[in-house]
């Protein structure tokens, strides 16, 4: 391998390590959602998953040597455009900015459901809820029979 | 929280500046990072802090739940209303041209100001309403159980 | 180069925080670590030039969502049961999905590439034309409220709908006698 190959390799690694770390982050979130039975922890896992997607979008918008997309102004507040400044892509920022606030609103909805689940089942573990549900379904089946319409 | 004297005094000092900062973020969003979404969350945090430290009854006296519930809808109505107003004046929905027909960028400034105000009001309303909803349920754990 | 190092270090800390969250059992610790996670994410957003997003993440992730999580814990339970489920199959699923995703990133343009497809299309129009058309220094604001105003209207409607949903599920309004009777019995 020559020095040129090595440099290309390092450039490729540095150019993609953000995307790989975001995949690790995303899979950590997914793993928490699948494996852990606690509903609050599932929501935290979903938030990690969500943040990984945000990171991916913002990483795409970044330009090396760029700066935040806000134009310089003079003392009167008028814009003084400077063609030498490189700006990062503002479009992903807009999409993610709104997505974060929508994310907290939907998280609140999920947490509200958890509170109601605790009041009905007196537990916030998915396994316990499923057990109670199965028992209830068996009782109903014993009363109404297993036929269509009666089975739960 | 009746016995936490320092928390109570610091909260009293902080609530005003937090709301002021929220308003700065709201109306300076054209020139610096910020805007309706961030401002709404910051203003809601001020009321949340007040509610946590002084209790729900105190914060209900400042901002009753029925006001918050109407704020939620008001912001969305302001936003959509700006769009409808433009349509009635013969422009496209959310074009903002109607605010200053002879000077397009002034119309844009006014349109952005109103739209961001609407966003800020809705986000403030929703965040405070969600906090009220969670804090209003009878708690299962006492203060010492943590 | 310094920017790259800061970026990679912060991102690694973020991943480590997420990995530490996997095995924790006390919900209070989990919520506090989720707050740390959000603050780290906000710092990373600043290094990636997304100052508006960092602002939002710091206010929302470390502020409001922590309060909501703590409120939920106070209403439900403190700990979570140690997992009894078999974890090999989920682990395998995650590793395979991750491997496929990483395989997909190999074709992507380098991080920070100014010639990448995402940079040359509509973003350049916003950066050059918004000075004349909107005359607002913060490009994020002019896209959010003007170019993509209809999009933002939809987002505000979603937030409103989520807020109404929370109120319908757990709010206790005065005059709701029927529900109160049911819970007392």
Task: Give the closest residue to A98 by CA, choosing from C177, C143, C78, C4.
Answer: C143
Q: Test A70 with B137 for CB contact under 8 angstroms.
A: no
B34 Cβ contact partners less than 8 Å away, ≥ 6 residues apart: B24, B25, B26, B28, C52, C55
Question: How many angstroms away from the CA of A81 is the closest CA of chain C?
Answer: 8
Q: How confident is the model at residue C183 (pLDDT cuts 50, 70, 90)?
A: very low
CB contact C66 to A (< 8 Å): no
Q: What is the mean pLDDT of residues B3-27?
A: 92
Question: How many angstroms away from the CA of A6 is the closest CA of chain B?
Answer: 40
Instruction: Give the residue with greater pLDDT, C179 vs A64.
Output: A64
Q: Test A68 with B33 for CB contact under 8 angstroms.
A: yes
Round to whole Å and give the CA distance between C154 and C142.
17
pLDDT at residue C177 greater than cutoff 60: no
Query: Which residues sit opposite A24 in a β-bridge?
Result: none
| Residue C42 · residue C57 · CB < 8 Å | yes
Can you give the pLDDT at residue C184?
45
Round to whole Å and give the CA distance between C160 and C72.
21
Torsion of CA C159, C160, C163, C169, to 10 degrees: -120
CB contact A70 to B (< 8 Å): yes
pLDDT at residue C132 greater than cutoff 90: no
Chain A residues close to C131, C-beta within 8 Å: 71, 79, 81
Q: What is the mean pLDDT of residues B121-145?
A: 84
Chain B residues close to A73, C-beta within 8 Å: 31
Q: Test A81 with C131 for CB contact under 8 angstroms.
A: yes
Q: Which of A73, A101, A108 sits opposite B37 (nearest CB)?
A: A101
B137 token code pair: 């349920």
ipTM of the complex as predicted: 0.91
Please name the residue of chain A whose CA is at the shortest distance from the CA of residue B131: A108
Q: Test B134 with A111 for CB contact under 8 angstroms.
A: yes
Domain ranges of chain B: 5-145
Average pLDDT, chain C: 87
How many CB atoms are closer than 10 A to CB A69? 29
pLDDT at residue C157 greater than cutoff 90: yes
Lowest mean pLDDT among A77-86, B37-46, C85-94: A77-86
Task: Give the closest residue to B127 by CA, choosing from C38, A108, C42, A103.
Answer: A108
Neighbours of chain B (3+ CB pairs under 8 A): A, C
Question: How many angstroms away from the CA of A142 is the closest CA of chain C?
Answer: 27
Question: How many angstroms away from the CA of B48 is the closest CA of chain A?
Answer: 15
Lowest mean pLDDT among A95-99, B25-29, B59-63, B138-142: B138-142
Task: Give the closest residue to C168 by CA, choosing from B59, B128, A109.
Answer: A109
Round to whole Å and give the CA distance between C139 and C18.
32
Residue indicated by tokens 């929508």: A102
**A10-66+86-144: what fold?**
Helix Hairpins (1.10.287)
pLDDT at residue C182 greater than cutoff 90: no
Chain A residues close to B41, C-beta within 8 Å: 101, 104
How many B-C residue pairs are in contact by the CB < 8 A criterion?
149
Task: Give the closest residue to B117 by CA, choosing from B43, B9, B14.
Answer: B43
* pLDDT tens, residue by residue, C78-106: 777 776 777 889 999 999 999 999 999 99
- The enclosing H or E element of A84 equals none
Q: Which of A70, A97, A100 sits opposite B32 (nearest CB)?
A: A70
Per-residue three-class SS string for C18-38: HHHHHCCCEHHHHHHHHHHHH
Q: Which of C134, C149, C157 sits opposite B94 (nearest CB)?
A: C149
Chain B residues close to C130, C-beta within 8 Å: none
Instruction: Cite the DSSP H helix spans in B29-103.
Output: 36-54, 56-62, 65-88
Residue B108 burial (10 A CB sphere; 0-12, 13-18, 19+): buried
Can you give the pLDDT at residue C173?
61
Domain ranges of chain A: 10-66+86-144
* pLDDT tens, residue by residue, A36-69: 889 999 999 999 999 999 999 999 989 888 889 9
Q: Test B134 with A115 for CB contact under 8 angstroms.
A: yes
Residue % of chain C over a pLDDT of 70: 92
Can you give the pLDDT at residue A4?
76
Question: How many angstroms away from the CA of C175 is the closest CA of chain A?
Answer: 20
Chain C residues close to A20, C-beta within 8 Å: 102, 105
Q: What is the mean pLDDT of residues A97-122?
A: 92
| Residue A54 · residue C151 · CB < 8 Å | no
Q: Test A73 with B123 for CB contact under 8 angstroms.
A: no
Residue A125, classed as helix, strand or coil, is strand
């Amino acid at each position: 391998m020559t020095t040129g190959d090595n440099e290309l390799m390092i450039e490729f690694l540095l150019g993609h390590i953000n995307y790989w770390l975001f995949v690790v982050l995303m899979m950590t979130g997914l793993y928490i959602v699948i494996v852990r039975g606690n509903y609050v922890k599932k929501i935290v896992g979903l938030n990690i998953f969500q943040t990984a997607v945000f990171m991916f979008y913002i990483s795409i918008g970044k330009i090396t040597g760029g700066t935040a997309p806000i134009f310089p102004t003079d003392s009167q507040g008028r814009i003084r455009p400077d063609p030498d400044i490189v700006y990062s892509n503002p479009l992903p920022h807009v999409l993610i900015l709104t997505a974060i606030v929508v994310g907290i609103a939907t998280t609140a909805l999920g947490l509200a459901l958890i509170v109601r689940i605790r009041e009905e089942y007196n537990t916030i573990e998915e396994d316990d809820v499923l057990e109670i549900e199965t028992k209830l379904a068996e009782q109903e089946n014993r009363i109404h029979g297993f036929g269509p319409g009666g089975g739960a | 929280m009746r016995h936490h004297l320092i928390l109570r005094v610091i909260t009293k000092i902080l609530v005003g500046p937090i709301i002021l900062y929220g308003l700065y973020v709201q109306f300076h969003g054209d020139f610096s990072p910020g805007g309706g979404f961030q401002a709404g969350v910051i203003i809601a945090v001020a009321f949340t802090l007040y509610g946590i430290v002084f209790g729900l009854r105190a914060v209900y006296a400042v901002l009753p739940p029925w006001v918050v519930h109407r704020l939620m809808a008001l912001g969305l109505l302001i936003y959509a209303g700006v769009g409808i107003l433009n349509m009635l004046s013969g422009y496209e929905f959310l074009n903002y041209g109607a605010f200053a027909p002879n000077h397009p960028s002034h119309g844009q400034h006014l349109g952005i100001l109103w739209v961001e105000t609407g966003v800020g009001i809705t986000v403030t309303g929703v965040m405070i309403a969600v906090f009220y909803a969670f804090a209003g349920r009878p708690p299962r754990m006492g203060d010492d159980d943590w | 180069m310094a920017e790259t190092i800061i970026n990679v270090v912060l991102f690694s800390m973020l991943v480590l925080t997420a990995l530490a969250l996997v095995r924790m059992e006390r919900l209070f610790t989990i919520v506090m670590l989720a707050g740390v996670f959000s603050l780290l994410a906000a710092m990373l957003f600043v290094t990636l030039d997304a100052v508006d997003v960092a602002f939002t993440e710091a206010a929302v992730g470390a502020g409001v969502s922590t309060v909501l999580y703590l409120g939920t814990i106070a209403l439900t339970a403190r700990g979570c049961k140690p997992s009894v489920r078999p974890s090999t199959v989920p682990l395998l699923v995650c590793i395979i999905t991750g491997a496929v995703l990483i395989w997909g990133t190999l074709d992507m343009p380098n991080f920070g590439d100014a010639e990448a497809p995402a940079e040359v299309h509509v973003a350049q129009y916003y950066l050059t034309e918004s000075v004349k058309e909107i005359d607002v220094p913060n490009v994020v604001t002019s896209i959010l409220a003007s170019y993509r105003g209809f999009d933002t209207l939809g987002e505000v409607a979603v937030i409103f709908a989520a807020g109404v949903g929370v109120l319908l599920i757990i709010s206790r309004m005065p005059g709701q006698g029927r529900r109160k009777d049911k819970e007392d019995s």
